[in-house]
Amino acid sequence: MSTSTDPGRDPVSIDWRKEVVVTFDLETTGLDPVRHSVVEIACVKFQGGEPRAFFSLLVKPPHPIPAEVTKIHGIGDQDVEEAPPLPSVLPMLESFVGTHLLVAHNAPFDLSFLRMEYARCGRPYPGFRAIDTRLLARSVLPHLGRYSLASLTRALDIPLQHHHRALSDAWACGDLFYALAERSSGEGALPLDGILVG
């Protein structure tokens, strides 16, 4: 996975054609990880551009979902009434991700929520790091102008059927990652400098 000789350091590049990566996305009750919580989490495991497995769960937050937020992702209190709370979901997430590198669109947002949720439940944070496809797109397509997931998938003709649902967005993020990686590195390794965040 890494061209670094020190296994304790972040990888400096990956062979995107062979490496297993896990794309992920969260839906939340708002934009502030301190005041808001996760209501849906999804991951898709990809290798060589092909999906291999997926993980998707609704999550019961500790407070009601605001109506204006439900209008965005379509998840209401009734949908999560029987869902597990996030502390019971985190071990499943860790097991699914394993040692693979994460990929997310606007990764700092999702990682900030994960960090806060781990802190709330007193569980050690696994040190997740993620390739940010938004940063990758800015380097590969510098004149595009808009870098939202919807804008990028539209520009690159990538399917995005249920935007603002975690599994659909994670799946589209994977397709976007491979489209951008091919444009960035061709047949070579993808450098991670400037696009790997945590």
Active-site hit among 36, 73, 105, 164: 164
Q: Distance between alpha carbon 93 and the CA centroid of its chain, in Å?
A: 12
Does domain 15-185 fall under CATH 3.40.470.10? My reply is no
Known catalytic membership, residue 164? yes
183 — pLDDT class (breaks 50, 70, 90): very high
pLDDT tens digit sequence for 31-86: 999 999 999 999 999 999 999 999 999 999 999 999 999 999 999 999 999 999 99
Answer whether residue 105 shows pLDDT above 90.
yes
Q: Produce one character per residue of 98-116: b if its CB has 16 or more CB atoms within 10 Å, e if not.
A: eebbbbbbbbebbbebbeb
How confident is residue 4, by pLDDT bands cut at 50, 70 and 90? Answer: very low
What's the whole-model pTM score? 0.93
Task: Kindly tell me if the per-residue pLDDT of 7 is higher than 50.
Answer: no
The mean predicted confidence, pLDDT, of the chain is 93
